[in-house]
Chains A and B, each alone.
Chain A
Amino acid sequence: MHKPDILLSTLFNPKSVSIIGASSKPGKLGYNILENVIKYGYMGRVYPVNPNYQEILGLKVYSNISEINDEIDLAVIVIPAESVVKVAEECGASKVKNLVVISAGFKETGKEGAERERALKDICKKYKMNLLGPNCLGVIDTFTPLNASFAAQMPLKGNIAFISQSGALGTAILDWSFKNRIGFSKVISLGNKADLDESDFINALAADNNTKVILLYIEDVKDGGKFIKSLKKTVKIKPVLVLKSGSSTAGQRAAASHTGSLAGSRIAYETVFKQFGALQVETISDLFNYAKVFSTQPLPKDNSICILTNAGGPGIIATDACEKHGLKLAQLKNETLNNLRERLPPNASIYNPVDILGDAQPERYYKALETLKDDDNVSSLIIILTPQATTKPTETVLELVKLTSMIDKPVAFSLIGGEQVAEAKRILSENNIPVFSFPEDAVESIAALTRYKLIREKKMSHRKFKIPVDKEPIREIIKRVLSENRRTLLSSEACEILSFYNVKTPKVHLASNSEEACEAAAEIGYPVTLKIASPDIIHKSDVGGVALNVKNEEDVRKIFIGMVANAHKLFPNARIYGVEVYEYVEKGKEVIIGVNKDLQFGHLLMFGLGGVYVNFLRDVAFRIVPVTFNDAEEMIKETKVYNLLKGVRGEQPADIDAVIKTILAVSQLVEEFPVISELDVNPLFVYNKGEGCIAVDVKMSLYI
């Protein structure tokens, strides 16, 4: 058997291709695919297979793959679904290395199809064949060149790789790309992702010299952990731009109905993209706008930008967009300013945005750009042109193209207009210079490129903070909870578990009657806090299940009886264990640390403003577990509560280091005990710097 081919080179650049189900009838997929392979210049050996023909398009047709006396790198299967499994088995026996199954009629159609897909997958596993699809459009490599798809055309050659979970979107984009002169290195239609998935292709494309930027359209990710690994590796080499659909509530429902399974939550996807360096875009147009810039422009030094324009309004609009997207207007050097002053008319604005006025002719644009391009304070450039009475768009652009090849910074054009700038736009596109109609698009794309520069430079922190923990007592608690047929821990149990991870929690005793409650309170010392103890009552304070600052025995007794009676009344079916008696703790700044288990990516850790308003203010940041020291620091800084912790209006700063430690402890806990599906520390009271913090209320649920 062959070695695993991580680069998928025998798929993208096969020495031989067999089309199983080739047809001689134009209009049938089996014809289109064979025709595409031949027509677009594939140089390897081509073997059509179909028992009903002798010859198609001048090629000898075989009745079965086993008859071909050659090693087959790639077999494209385009026959009715019912026969695919059998044919795949034959391919396996003939040592085919890659299968692309175009045929539909698998998981997407119901139970029978799902069984068929499983059988197909098993066969590919057995023979160690790679499988793309089923139910896909095929695969295109413009460098090989190979067009093993039923797309109507061959895309232009370029350095963008496009991976699409939707076949239809793939074909539509190809058609659109001609008009916009966007070229591709590879186009991959994922189909049902029975075997090869987005992560496999990201890995392969990371190492592909013909690909400069990876574009991804997905509805879900097949394997969360694998996806994260592939991103971690790839984003340091080249950018990955992702459009993920199904993020709205209705979209999620539609996706569930389409695929039969729940994708991870929107927040989890956004967190993964952000945390592991994929650039998420919201629209198809952003995906390709960004790609235009990413595929042609170098990375900027930093976020300082210069705007060159022949109109004030668009210049200001671009300036606003810069601020919104995190770019700052470069402070031009004195030398530059002097130069501009000399070369531009006196009423031109030489400060950034540089406005060279409505009557600017090609030479004036040229002179201005020539000056600006060498200013070290400028990391990227946006050139805006509006067709005014004397403007010569085409000539201007021709003039500027002479300069752009000498600029080693990202440049993007915004040519506002229609007919008058059409020719100029075409010229720029042909010269691989990104051009947009409106300045905001140009700014946003440059901003994305700047963000990518940061991603690339960001040091991945490997330093993991590990507390040595004796896991046995925690296992015991979990075992006991499960043996009692519960999934929710009592606060006292949850506190105990956290305390093994060096998180400070208040003293707490469970009391099953009022007498015990008084004894517990006496032992802990007054005042105490009382909370109803029931795994079935989650939001205790909503139902009068929390009493703060209880000062004496008489009150403890009274409150115990009232609280239990009230709980029985409001939750007749709840298991009421009694009341938990807590040590009173001094109030601090309230933050929350929460964990929820996402279906796709595992534990998702949240930090933010705590207390009862957490659900309303939503001042929170997320990370996928395990959380590193840097992550913890970053996520605190992302929230507004960070400013509170730093201290406002002369307050003492809070103990942020203790908060970081607690975040890391919680991350380590759920990593070591993945059975914990939900965890909430709310509030965590944070005291002044050096005085630590305490997990006042801890909720924990298990899911096996």
Chain B
Amino acid sequence: MKSLFVVSWEGFSGKTAFILGLSQVLVENGFKVSYFRPVGRPQTSVTEGAVDPDVLLMKETLKLPFTLDELTPILIEPNYLSVYAKRDVADLRSMILKQYGKLSENSDIIIVEGGVSPETMTAFNLNNIDIAELLNSKVLAISGGVSDSSIEKILFYKSILDMRGVQLVGAVLNQIPPYMMEKAEGEYTELLNRHGVKVWGVIPRSYEISSPTVRELLELLEGEVLVKGDINRVIENIFIGAMQTESSLRYFRRSGNNAIITGGDRADIISAAVETNASVIVLTGNLRPSEQVLVKASEKNITVIMVPHDTYSTVKILEGLTGKIKPSDTSRINLTKKMVYDHVSWRELLDSI
């Protein structure tokens, strides 16, 4: 059985999307794939309690016959140091080993997803490196949004892994903006290779995967939906429509997939948003526009939502808008698979483990 420990040393690297894509590719090619996240980060929900959404996503996608507690035995909550201070470290370690054995049974490969950040649970000898060592798993580093420092982070951690005798099988450079592709594939890949880090894939940034959708915006704002358009459209930019009619067109045209926030009394701005094919229009202050304006939006299949908040509060709420993939989001789940097929030498990676 092969064991791959996937880690990232920075936030928002797209690690979950990569694991999601890789595991689907492996399943599609006849491998029995299992999954384990020893240290998870829960999101609390009143109805479901503390759940790690990434783990839930993997459980549903791979149809794993295990409970969420089994898939992620340790959850990082606020003040987790105090919580785990009472536990016996040896116990925790053996519990993880036992769990790992159970999950990996009968599988060809188990993908272990690394913890929240590199240092998490160091106090209990259970940080990423400790666990990789414990499980005798091989480490794959994912970096997101390429820069000099993210490349050097990979090298820095490689030097630590080398000292600990844990093998780094290589790296995947994820979420590369188009204008950095050439540099990532050339200069950066060569640099990593020179230092003994194999690069298995350079993946261009995909807004379809990483950007939030109108559906997520609707869930977040909980306003009144005046026009239900295509809610699967992604949102890349948020504009506040407070400018003059004619400048609004110029602003909105300069980028695609816009969410436009404006007042319901600004028929001109709403029309400009419709004209430039916005992803969604958010009307603040509970001001309802004229029916004619809404007709045009619905003709173009553009969602219009009305919220009671003022513009500032609305923008504040939308700061929490992120593109988390949900188990029901089949189109994005499929895109992650395509992403791995298109940009990762997955078979060679597998052979190297």
Contacts and interface: CB of A to CB of B under 8 A. Distances in A.
B81 interface: no
Interface string A251-265: 011101111111001
B276 A256 contact: no
B256 A487 contact: yes
Interface string A232-265: 0000000000000000010011101111111001
B255 A114 contact: no
Interface in B263-300: 266-268, 270-272, 274-276, 289-296, 298-299
Given A252-B245, A262-B245, A678 B253 contact: yes
Contacts of B156: none
A703 interface: yes
A701 B251 CA distance: 10
B245 A678 contact: no
Interface stretch (A8-16, A105-113, A133-141, A176-184): A105-113
A484 B176 CA distance: 11
B48 interface: no
B178 A484 contact: yes
Contact of A253 (B254, B256, B266, B292): B266
A701 B292 contact: no
A612 B177 CA distance: 33
B253 A484 contact: no
Interface string B198-218: 000000000100000000000
Nearest to B177: A575
B249 interface: yes
Contact of A257 (B179, B267, B274): B267
A262 B272 contact: yes
Given A110-B292, A253-B245, A483-B178, A261 B268 contact: no
A107 B295 contact: yes
B336 to A, nearest CB: 18
Interface string B26-66: 00000000000000000000000000000000000000000
B275 A599 contact: yes
Contacts of A538: 254
Interface string B214-248: 00000000000000000000001000000011100
A476 to B, nearest CB: 15
A484 B271 CA distance: 28
B164 interface: no
B295 A111 contact: yes
Contact of A260 (B179, B255, B295): B295
A487 B254 contact: yes
Interface residues of B, number: 34
A265 B295 CA distance: 22
A596 B178 CA distance: 27
Contact of B293 (A256, A512, A596): A256
Given A252-B245, A483-B178, A107 B292 contact: yes
A601 to B, nearest CB: 13
Contact of A484 (B179, B236, B249, B296): B179
B271 A487 contact: no
Contact of B276 (A257, A483, A488, A703): A703
Nearest to B179: A577
B343 interface: no
A485 B292 contact: no
B296 A488 contact: no
Contacts of A254: 267
A111 B300 CA distance: 12
Contacts of B244: 249
A667 interface: no
Interface string A669-690: 0000000011000000000000
Given A262-B245, A483-B178, A257 B295 contact: no
B102 interface: no
B250 interface: yes
Given A257-B267, A678-B250, A701-B254, A249 B292 contact: no
Contacts of A256: 245, 267-268, 270-271, 293
Nearest to B250: A678
B289 A257 contact: yes
Contacts of B298: 111
B97 to A, nearest CB: 43
A217 to B, nearest CB: 20
A108 B292 CA distance: 6
Interface in A562-613: 575, 577, 596-597, 599
Nearest to B274: A261
A483 B205 CA distance: 12
Contact of B256 (A114, A265, A483, A485): A485
A575 B294 CA distance: 34
B240 to A, nearest CB: 15
A110 B177 contact: no
A261 B266 CA distance: 12
B293 A260 contact: yes
A260 B290 contact: yes
A412 to B, nearest CB: 38
A623 to B, nearest CB: 17
A36 B247 CA distance: 48
B221 to A, nearest CB: 21
A114 B299 contact: yes
Contacts of A483: 178
Contacts of A485: 178, 207, 236, 256
Contacts of B245: 249, 252-253, 256, 262, 265
Interface in A541-578: 575, 577
Given A260-B290, A261-B271, 11 more contacts: A110-B291, A253-B245, A256-B293, A260-B293, A261-B296, A262-B271, A265-B246, A577-B179, A597-B253, A701-B250, A703-B254
Closest 8 CB pairs of A and B: A260-B292, A257-B267, A484-B178, A110-B291, A256-B267, A262-B271, A703-B253, A260-B296
19 contacts: A107-B295, A108-B292, A111-B294, A111-B295, A114-B299, A253-B268, A259-B292, A260-B290, A261-B296, A262-B275, A484-B177, A485-B236, A485-B256, A487-B254, A538-B254, A575-B179, A596-B250, A678-B253, A701-B250
